[in-house]
Amino acid sequence: MDVILGIDIGGSTTKIVGFTAKNNMLGSLQVKATDQVTSMYGAVGNFLRTYSIPLRNVSKIVLTGVGASYITGSVYEVPTVKIDEFRAIGLGGCTLSALERALVVSMGTGTAFVRVSDGDVIHIGGSGVGGGTLMGLSSELMHENDISNVALLAESGDLANVDLLIKDISNVQIPNLPPNATASNFGNIKNTATNSDKALGLINMVFQAIGTMSFLACYNTPIKDIVLTGALTVLPQARDVFDGLSKLYRLNFIIPPLSIYATAIGAAVSFLES
Ligand SMILES: Nc1ncnc2c1ncn2[C@@H]1O[C@H](COP(=O)(O)OP(=O)(O)OP(=O)(O)O)[C@@H](O)[C@H]1O
Ligand SMILES: [Mg+2]
């Protein structure tokens, strides 16, 4: 059996997926190490062991992600190629959502916006507001480095203790702006705000910023589907915030299954399609 490995060496973690030559997915996992080379080799070893695949069965390795630049030559003497990360994001997001036209947003350490339309995959821009922002500000504001704990804290948070809402600053109805829309993230922080309030405020701020940039990236285009990928998509708050933004902007924010692995899947799919 020929196995194709797609490996996404990101700014924080390495994601790996395996496919058969017939496009069947064999499995996925992610690893984290202090440097990208260790992370990539660790991911391959861990994957082959976890899924009981002998190295001799691996016929191709497709690398992508910012860390791919640190890997030169072939990996374990398996034919190895690199694919542009933005192409992998676009292909992976569209494969997982079964869409041919969409804005695919990678919410990782930073955020990337990729427009896929009529077979074209275009990186239209990026933002430094992403998972790294959430980690850094959580550490400063709540002395919490573990994102799972930040998400737990946020469950009992109240945005009213943190954010300024439109209804706080206007007593008339503004067209296209519901009274509960955010006027300013952290613009009304109370001195009684708890760590839970701050955690929810931070998660909400990062997701709202990404959602609003996505809306602007789709403005005046036929694109109505926004596919969200990357590790931030698995935070429980993602669904709530993006459902709210779907209604506000009349767009479909979609979190597909395996969203964490979209870029790695895009890397493997680019080879399988070719
Ligand atoms: N358990 C977790 N659940 C959800 N999000 C997490 C968890 N642990 C870390 N994160 C967040 O995920 C972010 C990293 O996301 P991801 O792994 O998709 O990025 P990356 O691919 O390494 O980076 P980039 O794509 O920007 O190069 C971290 O900055 C952190 O905010
Ligand atoms: Mg990434």
Residues 14-28 have pLDDT tens digits of 999 999 988 899 999
φ/ψ of residue 154, rounded to 5? -65, -20
Residue 77: CB atoms within 10 A of its CB come to: 9
Residue 1 has pLDDT above 80, yes or no: no
In this predicted model, which residue has the larger pLDDT, 34 or 94? 94
Question: Between helices 262-273 and 85-97, what is the axis angle to 10°?
Answer: 90
Helices (H) and strands (E) in the chain, counts: 8, 12
Ligand nearest to the CA of 69: 1
Q: Is the CB of 127 under 6 A from ligand 1?
A: no
In DSSP terms, 120 is beta-bridged to 117
Nearest ligand atom owner, CA of 266 = 2
Confidence at residue 185, expressed as pLDDT on a 0 to 100 scale: 97
**Could you tell me the CA-to-CA distances from 264 to 75, 107, 142 in Å, in that order?**
16, 14, 33
Closest by CA to 26, choosing from 52, 46, 62, is 52
Residue 11: pLDDT over 80 = yes
pLDDT category at 204 given cuts 50, 70, 90 is very high
* 179 has a pLDDT exceeding 90: no
**183 touches ligand 1 (CB under 6 Å):** no
Compute the chain's Rg from CA coordinates: 20
User: pLDDT value at position 173?
Assistant: 81
What are 205-263's pLDDT values in tens digits?
A: 999 999 999 999 999 999 999 999 999 999 999 999 999 999 999 999 999 999 999 99
For ligand 2, a single-atom ion, which residues have Cβ within 5 Å? 10, 108
**What pLDDT band is residue 178 in, cutting at 50, 70 and 90?**
confident
Say how far apart CA 146 and CA 134 lie, in whole Å.
Answer: 10
Whole-number pLDDT of residue 273:
84
Q: Is the model more confident about 83 or about 1?
A: 83
Query: What pLDDT is attached to residue 47?
Result: 98
For 66-120, the pLDDT digits (tens) are 999 999 999 999 999 999 999 999 999 999 999 999 999 999 999 999 999 988 9
**Closest residue to atom 25 of ligand 1, CA basis:** 108
Write out pLDDT tens, residues 127-150: 999 999 999 999 999 999 999 999
Global pTM value: 0.95
Beta carbon of 206 within 6 Å of any ligand 1 atom: no
Q: Is 117 exposed, middle or buried (0-12, 13-18, 19+ CB in 10 A)?
A: middle
Identity (one letter) of the amino acid at 220?
N
Ligand 1 pocket residue status of 12, Cβ below 6 Å: yes
pLDDT over threshold 80, residue 37: yes
Torsion region of 77: left, alpha or beta (phi above 0 gives left; psi -120 to 50 gives alpha): left
Other CB atoms within 10 A of residue 248 CB:
18
- Angle (nearest 5°) at CA 217 between 216 and 219: 60
The pLDDT value given to residue 172: 81
Up-side HSE of residue 144: CA atoms within 13 Å toward CB? Answer: 18
236 CA to centre of ligand 1 in angstroms: 14
Residues of the chain with pLDDT > 90, as a percent, come to: 89
**Class of 3-82 in CATH:** alpha beta
Pairing state between β 3-9 and 111-117: unpaired
- What's the mean pLDDT when you consider all of the chain? 95
CB atoms within 10 A of CB 222: 7
Q: Is the dihedral of CA 135, 136, 141, 145 positive or negative?
A: positive
Q: How far is the CA of 260 from the centre of ligand 1 (A)?
A: 9
**Cα distance between residue 228 and residue 253, in whole Å:** 7
User: What average pLDDT does this structure show over 40-68?
Assistant: 97
> Which one of 3.30.420.40, 3.40.50.300, 3.40.50.10710, 1.20.1250.20 gives the CATH number of domain 95-256?
3.30.420.40
Separation CA 5–CA 27 (nearest Å): 10
Domain boundaries, the chain: 3-82, 95-256
Asked whether the predicted pLDDT for residue 50 surpasses 80, the reply is yes
pLDDT at 41 over 90: yes
- What angle, 0 to 180 degrees and rounded to 10, lies between the N-to-C axes of helices 195-218 and 131-142? 160
State whether the beta carbon of 266 lies less than 6 angstroms from ligand 1: no
**Is the C-beta atom of 126 inside 6 A of ligand 1?**
no
